[in-house]
Amino acid sequence: MANSELDEEFVRRLSHLLQEADLSEIEFESGDQRVRVARTVQVAAAPAQPAAPAAPGQAESGGAPPQPAESSEPVPEGAVTAPMVGTVYVAPEPGADPFVREGDQVQEGQTLLIVEAMKVMNPLPAPRSGTVRRVIVQDGQPVEFGEPLLVIE
C-alpha cells in the first residue's frame, strides 16, 4: 500500500478474498493504515420472527444470533463456549504446549484456545479471570456454536 493513498488493486484482492472465503468482512492493518472491507450477505427469506435483543457485547449483525447447539447435557456453570462452528486447537501449533491446562490461573483476555473456521485461526480469549477447572475438548476436535469448551471458576 502507498503511504497516504489506498491501492485500489489491494482493496480488490481483499474483496475477492472476502467472497472466496465466504466471509462477511475482512480487515487489514499495516502501520498507520487500516482497510476494512465488508459485505451484506443475502439470506433466503424465512418466516418473520420478532427480533430478540442482542446480548451485551454481541455485535449487531442484522439478523437473529445463532442458537447454541442442542445438547442433552446442561452447559456447566462457568463454561466458556464455542463462538462459532469450527475445529478447536489447544496449542498454537502441533507439538507445542497447550495454551492452558486444568488448574492454570488465567487473566481476562488471555488466549485459551484457537477455533479454526473457514481456514481462519480465531483465538478465543478468556472472558474473565479465574482458574481453569476443566478442559472439555480435545485438540483437533470439531465443535458447534455454543458447545462448552472449558470451565473457568
pLDDT tens, N- to C-terminus, the chain (153 residues)? 444 456 777 777 777 776 777 777 777 777 777 777 776 654 444 444 444 444 444 444 444 444 444 555 677 788 999 999 999 999 998 889 999 999 999 999 999 999 998 888 999 999 999 999 999 999 999 999 999 999 999
Q: Please indicate, yes or no, if residue 21 is contained in any of the structural domains.
A: yes
How many distinct structural domains can be found in the chain? 2
Instruction: Spell 77-101 as b/e; 16+ CB within 10 A means b.
Output: ebbbbbbbbbebbbeeeeeeeebbe
Q: Please indicate, yes or no, if residue 139 is contained in any of the structural domains.
A: yes
CATH label of the domain that carries residue 128: 2.40.50.100
Give the pLDDT score at 16. Answer: 75
